Structure 1
Amino acid sequence: MNGTQDPHARPVVRLDAVSRLYGGPKNRVTALDNVSISLKRGTFTAVMGPSGSGKSTFLHCAAGLDRPTSGAVHLDGVDLGLLREKALTKFRRERIGFVFQAFNLLPALSVVDNVTLPLRLAGKRPNKAVVDEVLEQVGLSGKRRSRPGELSGGQQQRVAIARALVTQPAVIFGDEPTGALDTRPAAEVLMLVRQSVDVVGQTVVMVTHDPVAASYADRVVFLADGRLTGVVDRPTVEQVTEQLQKLGTWGDPFGIQRTGHEVRR
């Protein structure tokens, strides 16, 4: 043996004792508190917890959008803490895909131009075969020349997913990707994400409030007060809801969490 580790056996995302603090000594907030976790390649992980639990901070640190106060983040074998800002931006563009609740499409561009935008911004010429394959994968081959305003919400999110897939990233991070969608298009988007994991081996990490969305994942990770509090493998809606109820933040059987200013489904 030469001691070389198979890159496919190596965790694609690894957080080692990551903490993220905000504010000064008098108003310090600990958003993440000594979090360590490894996520395998070709898996779908959902991240859940009450408002203020650290979900978004977890995603931002894991994706290199924010730097931890202490600890280390490795993504696709690279220690993100060793990268300067310019190199980190290039790494995110090439190796990470993002899908947010807001579709973030440019209204003046066609579907195909929105999908290939990350490649063009990176100075790369889109590979037509790859673009065609991705559009086929998300069911939008017949909408290549359509503008976002001519598409439904579910179709627009499919464009956003295709845009994330086209760079063939090591991992896709989703932040409430179905939060703005009704039940049926949300289910279609989640099935599409699930298929990208099962068929092409994509790695997906998704923050969500919704137990139904989480049930599509291989694994659900729960956060509370910035700490990891539990993990459920092969989750069901009932298991996820029960775990959230144990955290004392989930009392609505219809999967709706009410905070002071919003209702999230």
Structure 2
Amino acid sequence: MNQEVVRLTSVVKTYGGERNRVVALDGVTMGFSRGSFTAVMGPSGSGKSTFLHCAAGLDRPTSGSVVLDGHELGGMSEVALTRLRRDSVGFVFQAFNLLPALNVLENVTLPLRLAGKRPNRAAVDAIIERVGLADRRKHLPGELSGGQQQRVAIARALVSRPAVLFGDEPTGALDTQTSLEVLGLLRESVRFAGQTVIMVTHDPVAASHADRVVFLADGRVADELSQPTAELVAERMTHLGAFAAAGVA
């Protein structure tokens, strides 16, 4: 269970030319163990989204190494990267990104069909039941609440049994109660199914559901917190904001 499913080593990501160069990530090194739940936080412009894109193979770092599910991403072709993301990575975003003309079952199984795989009906039914939508499988997205649509997105992300699930503000569009339900579902997938979850969030309450919180500031790892509480996370974020504003972090 301690095997790392994602490892970034000295990752640098810059944008622009020499005159307008922006350093989004500045030597980030961190690992994520299999079966763990990590929240990534930081002030606006700290590099959270760039980190997620590099860690998930959506963007290539300027320098440094990213290893995802045993694969070094640096030397992989775009075709190989696409295949790896399809087979080993699940994504859950703030926008649910469901196809409105497809029902719950069809949206959940879409990644398998696009990959040319025949869905295992029993396994798909088990995932839909796990996210609490067994009686909604024939409903269209427009007939579901926001929380139910995010549950569909989580089921779709888990259906291919990915090595890691990346969440980008997955509760950002949900009310407080629904957010807690979705976070509980992610927590459950880690605890009972051994899923690895890496979630970018700005919400201390959301982060408190993780095993660990990693804080970024100015593209660097500025702090880390194990067994977080919402109060501790909020306090660290306040300090990070002050450090970032002062150019210290």
Q: Could you say whether these structures have the same fold, taking a TM-score greater than 0.5 normalized by the shorter chain as the test?
A: yes
Q: TM-score range by the shorter chain?
A: over 0.9
Alignment pair present for 1:218 and 2:219: no
Name the aligned partner's letter for residue 165 of structure 2.
I
Alignment pair present for 1:44 and 2:37: yes
Name the aligned partner's letter for residue 43 of structure 1.
S
The answer to whether the 8 Å contact 1:50/1:249 transfers is no
2:166 is aligned to 173
SS in 2 for 1:246: helix
Residue by residue, what CA displacement relative to the aligned partner does 1:45-87 show, whole Å, maximum 9, x if unpaired?
A: 0000001000000000000000000001001111011210001
Residue 111 (structure 1) shift = 0.1
Counterpart among 47, 64, 67 of residue 60 in structure 2: 67
Residue 249 (structure 1) shift = 5.3
Spell out the pairing of 1:155-194 with structure 2 (5 A cutoff): 155-194=148-187
CA distance in 2, matches of 1:249, 1:128: 52
Spell out the pairing of 1:10-159 with structure 2 (5 A cutoff): 10-159=3-152
Name the aligned partner's letter for residue 236 of structure 2.
Q
Runs of 4+ in 1 over 6 A off after TM superposition: none
Residue 9 (structure 1) shift = 3.7
Identity, in percent, stands at: 68
Residue by residue, what CA displacement relative to the aligned partner does 1:128-178 show, whole Å, maximum 9, x if unpaired?
A: 111011001100111110000000000000000000000000000000000
CA distance in 1, matches of 2:241, 2:9: 28
CA distance in 1, matches of 2:39, 2:89: 17
SS in 2 for 1:52: coil
CA distance in 2, matches of 1:122, 1:193: 24
CA distance in 2, matches of 1:118, 1:153: 21
Task: Report how many aligned residue pairs link the two structures.
Answer: 243
1:196 is aligned to 189
CA distance in 1, matches of 2:211, 2:37: 5
Name the aligned partner's letter for residue 85 of structure 1.
E
Name the aligned partner's letter for residue 201 of structure 1.
G
After TM superposition, the score normalised by the length of structure 2 is: 0.96
Alignment pair present for 1:206 and 2:196: no
After TM superposition, the score normalised by the length of structure 1 is: 0.90
Spell out the pairing of 1:221-240 with structure 2 (5 A cutoff): 221-240=214-233
Structure 2 unaligned regions, length at least 5: 244-249
1:260 is aligned to none
Aligned-pair Cα RMSD in Å: 1.0
2:246 is aligned to none
CA distance in 2, matches of 1:38, 1:114: 32
